[in-house]
Structure 1
Amino acid sequence: MRFDLLKILLVDDNQHMRMLLIEILRAIGVRQVYEAMDGAEALSIMRTTAIDVVFTDLSMNGLDGIDFANLLRRSPDSPNPFAPIVMITGHSTERRVHEARDAGVNEFLVKPVTARGVIHRLTLLIENPRPFVRAKDYFGPDRRRRDDPRYAGPRRREEDRATFVDDPEDAARRGHPTRRI
């Protein structure tokens, strides 16, 4: 896996956590790491730099991780609504996990973070990316972990069917920029 080609954005108001993640990422070969203190600064960086993966803390001063994910996924002026997001938090209650999932987060990483956990999440994002879906009240990666993104089985209501965004070029033509790793 070519981690050296990735541009990763770390969003956390805790400098020690950012330094820990930088050391882990550098150890696996990542060379381009950008840092932001909150979601607002992260969005600003993403407007000028094509970021491949975002690691964001859930709880931050300023614009927190949930609000950042919501803006990145749903704002009309989002710099990249398809950017993979890994939510990092010490608050792993079911409510918080659901909140992150519903904001369009791709993966969830619970503190204390480990090198193995970071590598596992990056590998999942790169080797097994989930298709993005657009529904009435959601845009982001398919929230179900399964092989067939067009499941039409008995537990799927017709009125709740989402539009899958499988083709990045088609998504770009419709105003949803994306970048393949």
Structure 2
Amino acid sequence: MAEPRLNLGKATVLLVQASATELDILGQMFIGFGVKGIRKCTSVEDAEAVSATQPFDLMVVDCDIPDGAGYDFVQRLRRAEENANRLAPIMLVCGHAAPSNVERARDCGANFVVAKPLTPPIVYDRLMWMAREQRQWVEAEGYVGPDRRHKAFGPPAGEKGRRHDDLGLEVGLPIGPDLEQDEIDALMNPRRAVA
């Protein structure tokens, strides 16, 4: 079966990198993916000005901009209700994927964090992941962005869920006899039918 493809021909992407060399490499990578609308910024100030006037389908922001400016840019953008890009998917790129950097990226409202060095297969895989993700949007006092939980396990036992679609952990009564162990084993190890 063929791998699903992502048509990025009409996508507009904002790339924010402090290093001009890394910005060029990242730009070439997205050109290779078929993106025709690329806007490059080497500073957060430029990115803020551009994002206030032009809509983007994706933003790729460098975490390694001095003084945490990349994280702060994402956090300000997520809270800017008048900015059309506040809901755009954001991929943060960092030199070191230390737990503290990943937590900071998660808490500022980014969709995904990718560690350098970047390779086209890794970036494309993360783009596919972000295109398929269906996390809900959360607006709370201390956080604005996609739900930080990647898996919905439902609310803790005995607790009412915070979301309208949270399922309880209550299990219904059995509707038939339990399976025997050999029947369970047969389900786990299917055999070929012999004619």
TM-score norm. by structure 2 comes to 0.74
| C-alpha distance in 2 between matches for 1:137 and 1:23 | 36
Q: Secondary structure at the match of 2:59?
A: strand
Corresponding position of 1:52: 57
Task: Answer yes or no: is the 8 Å Cα contact 1:135–1:162 preserved in 2.
Answer: no
How many residues in Structure 1 have an aligned counterpart in Structure 2?
Answer: 160
| C-alpha distance in 2 between matches for 1:114 and 1:156 | 45
Corresponding position of 1:144: 149
| C-alpha distance in 2 between matches for 1:156 and 1:35 | 50
Corresponding position of 1:9: 14
Corresponding position of 1:168: none
| C-alpha distance in 1 between matches for 2:110 and 2:156 | 26
| C-alpha distance in 1 between matches for 2:145 and 2:75 | 9
| C-alpha distance in 2 between matches for 1:99 and 1:48 | 27
2:164 paired with 1:154: no
Task: Answer yes or no: is the 8 Å Cα contact 1:38–1:61 preserved in 2.
Answer: no
Q: Per-residue deviation at 1:126?
A: 1.6
**Whose Rg is larger?**
2
**What letter is aligned with 2:95?**
G
| C-alpha distance in 2 between matches for 1:62 and 1:33 | 26
Q: Name which structure has the greater RCO, CA cutoff 8 Å, separation 6+.
A: 1
**What letter is aligned with 1:38?**
S
Q: Please list every run of 5 or more consecutive structure 2 residues that lacks an aligned counterpart in the other structure.
A: 1-5, 166-195
- Higher mean C-alpha displacement, 79-88 vs 101-110: 79-88
Match of 2:133 among 115, 128, 132: 128
Q: Percent identity?
A: 28
Q: Please list every run of 5 or more consecutive structure 1 residues that lacks an aligned counterpart in the other structure.
A: 165-181
